[in-house]
Structure 1
Amino acid sequence: MLKPQNLREKYGNWAVVTGGSSGIGLALVRLLASQGVNVFIVALDDALLDEAQRGVSKQFPTVQIRPIGVNLGDKSENYMKQITEQTDEVDVSILVNNAGFLVMGFFNEESIDKYISSLHCNAMAAIRLTHHFYSLMITKKIKGCVMFTSSAAWFLPAPFASSYGASKALLSHFGNSLAIEAQQHGIDVTIFHPSYTHSNLYRETPKLDVVTFLSKFGWTPEQVAKRMFACAGRVIVHDMGFYAIATNLLGRFWDSAFLTTCIIPFRDSMAPKKTNSSQNKKTQ
């Protein structure tokens, strides 16, 4: 029911999008650029980032698309220095915390470093970046917007993707809580829970039957980006797609212990077909 809106007219002309080199992030960058918003693309320093920067700049030559190549999964958090230095000269009024990656497989068969890295990228980096830009928005009295690309994965137990669901739960709870504080400063906070989206997230993960099934009803990154724009400053939390809505409702009627007990009998049928092939893949 929400109509499209121009975020430049609503907030300003500088944005930071994490994980903006592909998938939902790149769709968001393109949509921002189409509205005349200059964008810092924060993503891994690789060929995808270079390609995204060149492609969007060529398509929208009147806006500035500046790449910031960093690893948001770095637990030393050295990425903050580079991001703050490169964005210090402008007033960032739109922050989209979209970066993340999925580690899928049996918990004991993946290295703990992968899980810790995913927690940093999916949640802790978003919290650090939000603290930085949110604080600047308050100090400079900027009417801003902070968006989080969370996931419906946190509504139910997520076997074989335990750290992913947990990190998204942290992100959603943080965003909900921050939205209450941010209202008095004129800063909008929106948390987005998309259902399955056709992106790089699952490209190199083990094949799970439930994921294969959900992919048949998946959304495109462009559809998700447009819905996120429509929701900015209008709703605090939005569940997109039948899976997100249905799993959210399940958690309202039954507690987590009951749902966990119900899922256990289906564990073997849900398990990855090849336990040694699980890999992490960025959404950027």
Structure 2
Amino acid sequence: MLTTVFAVIGFLSIALYVGPLLFQTIFFNVQNLKKKYNAQWALVTGGSSGIGLAMSETLASQGINVVVAALNDKAMESAKVSLPRKFPGIQFRFVSVNLGAHDPTVYMTPLIEATNDISVQLVFNNAGYILVGLFHLTSLEAIMSCLNCNNIAAVQITHHFTGRLVAESQKGAVFFTSSPGGFMASPMAPLYSTTKSFLTNFAVSIAAELTPNNIDVCVIHPSPTNTAFYNGAGNMSTLTTFQKLSGSPQAIVDAALRCIGRTVNVEHGWYTVGNRLLLKILDYTVMSDLMWVFVRGQGDYEKIRVGQLEKLGGKTVGSVTARGGVVASKAVKGQ
């Protein structure tokens, strides 16, 4: 009797996950967001490279004008040239901002000024990065910058633009780039899983609230994707392996455009699905204890620990805070 009960539970658990995925893949086509929302303008954070650039190009190809918000770097300079050249009939506004700034007005003021005279109906919260390093050996400044970029900026931006849409009785959509990394903890990059888990739950929570206002919310969890994200991997072998198996940013954009307004939580690719199925076999509690026991014995753990201590000159964690230096692998604000 118990065997039958557990078999039924196991079957339903997998079927109710895999079934909707197959349905989305077979029956959901890529939607034209200009037609769906009668949208004239979109905002894409991290829109100068990777998934963000692919999203900016796709929106422009559908006839939607785009506000590109990203760091003032080489990728942004390249986008300023390539996007208008590729889509001459589309308007672009480029806003150079650091979404990791501790003071939100540093990025919100330029964004508000750049969009005061237009109606932004589509908001794509895509910017984010990974900060590799042991928490106690990483400066608080670096930790807070990652938290600000990955979470706080998305909350600030979403609150401002959804508030405008509701006040103007405009329909629209808000999109978040999360990660399967948020399904479980990520020792040696603790802010990544934490911030991505927040994004997922935040998106699903506000989706229910905004539906009566004709505002759709969608959060996507891409499998490894070939973007500048991996510039922040340092010498972490797991991430280097994922980079070799990474897919196209356009595939992520297409998945998002198939699902927005049709479902809230989108899981795309082999790694995302594999992680979800693994957690149906190994409960999160068990997985947590396995990490607690085995991670410290991994080569990456020791390599990262030693590398951070060398940068500190062997000083203790108290010295890290005092110095305030960024003691972690190079981080790139973009996905």
Structure 1 CA distance, aligned partners of 2:207 and 2:299? 36
Query: Aligned-pair distance for 1:27?
Result: 0.6
1:23 to 26, 50, 58: 50
Structure 2 residue identity aligned to 1:181: E
Given the alignment of the two structures, is residue 181 of structure 1 paired with residue 227 of structure 2, yes or no? no
For the residue of structure 2 that corresponds to 1:42, the secondary structure is strand
2:196 to 158, 168, 176: 168
- 8 Å CA contact retained: 1:205, 1:281: no
Query: Aligned-pair distance for 1:270?
Result: 5.6
Deviates more, 1:201-210 or 1:142-151: 201-210
Deviates more, 1:254-263 or 1:33-42: 254-263
Aligned residue number for residue 8 of structure 1: 34
1:144 to 172, 175, 178: 172
Within 5 A, what are the aligned runs for 1:208-223? Answer: 208-223=236-251
Structure 2 residue identity aligned to 1:71: N
- Gapped runs of 5+ residues in structure 1? none
For the residue of structure 2 that corresponds to 1:102, the secondary structure is coil
Between Structure 1 and Structure 2, which shows a larger proportion of helix residues?
A: 2
For the residue of structure 1 that corresponds to 2:120, the secondary structure is coil
Query: Aligned-pair distance for 1:29?
Result: 0.3
- 8 Å CA contact retained: 2:129, 2:232: no
Percent of pairs identical after alignment?
Answer: 35
Aligned residue number for residue 193 of structure 1: 221
For the residue of structure 2 that corresponds to 1:68, the secondary structure is strand
Aligned residue number for residue 128 of structure 2: 100
Query: Aligned-pair distance for 1:216?
Result: 3.5
Q: Aligned residue pairs: how many?
A: 284
Aligned residue number for residue 260 of structure 2: 232
Structure 1 residue identity aligned to 2:48: S
Structure 1 residue identity aligned to 2:330: Q
Query: Aligned-pair distance for 1:4?
Result: 1.3
For the residue of structure 2 that corresponds to 1:203, the secondary structure is helix
For the residue of structure 1 that corresponds to 2:273, the secondary structure is helix
Structure 1 residue identity aligned to 2:270: F
For the residue of structure 2 that corresponds to 1:15, the secondary structure is strand
- 8 Å CA contact retained: 2:233, 2:239: no
- 8 Å CA contact retained: 1:198, 1:220: yes
Aligned residue number for residue 71 of structure 1: 98
- Root-mean-square deviation (CA, aligned residues, Å) is 1.6
Cα displacement string for residues 255-276 of structure 1 (whole angstroms, at most 9, x for unaligned residues): 4332111123144326254534
- Gapped runs of 5+ residues in structure 2? 1-25, 309-327
Judging changes above 3 Å, is the alpha-carbon distance between structure 1 residues 213 and 47 closer, same or farther for their aligned structure 2 residues? closer
Given the alignment of the two structures, is residue 281 of structure 1 paired with residue 332 of structure 2, yes or no? yes
Query: Aligned-pair distance for 1:185?
Result: 0.9
Aligned residue number for residue 45 of structure 1: 72
- 8 Å CA contact retained: 1:50, 1:67: no
Query: Aligned-pair distance for 1:69?
Result: 0.6
For the residue of structure 1 that corresponds to 2:256, the secondary structure is helix
Query: Aligned-pair distance for 1:117?
Result: 0.5
- 8 Å CA contact retained: 1:152, 1:195: yes
Structure 1 CA distance, aligned partners of 2:242 and 2:232? 16
Structure 2 residue identity aligned to 1:95: V
- 8 Å CA contact retained: 1:103, 1:278: yes
For the residue of structure 1 that corresponds to 2:88, the secondary structure is coil
Q: Specify the structure having the higher radius of gyration (Cα).
A: 2
- 8 Å CA contact retained: 2:130, 2:232: no
- 8 Å CA contact retained: 1:19, 1:42: yes
2:148 to 103, 120, 128: 120
Within 5 A, what are the aligned runs for 1:238-277? Answer: 238-263=266-291, 264-269=293-298, 271=300, 273-274=303-304, 275-276=307-308
For the residue of structure 1 that corresponds to 2:130, the secondary structure is strand
- 8 Å CA contact retained: 2:69, 2:94: yes
- 8 Å CA contact retained: 2:231, 2:330: no
- 8 Å CA contact retained: 1:73, 1:119: yes
Cα displacement string for residues 98-133 of structure 1 (whole angstroms, at most 9, x for unaligned residues): 001110122223211111011110011001100111
For the residue of structure 1 that corresponds to 2:195, the secondary structure is helix
Deviates more, 1:242-251 or 1:17-26: 242-251
Structure 2 CA distance, aligned partners of 1:129 and 1:158? 26
Structure 2 residue identity aligned to 1:39: V
For the residue of structure 2 that corresponds to 1:283, the secondary structure is coil
Deviates more, 1:43-52 or 1:147-156: 43-52
- 8 Å CA contact retained: 1:157, 1:256: no
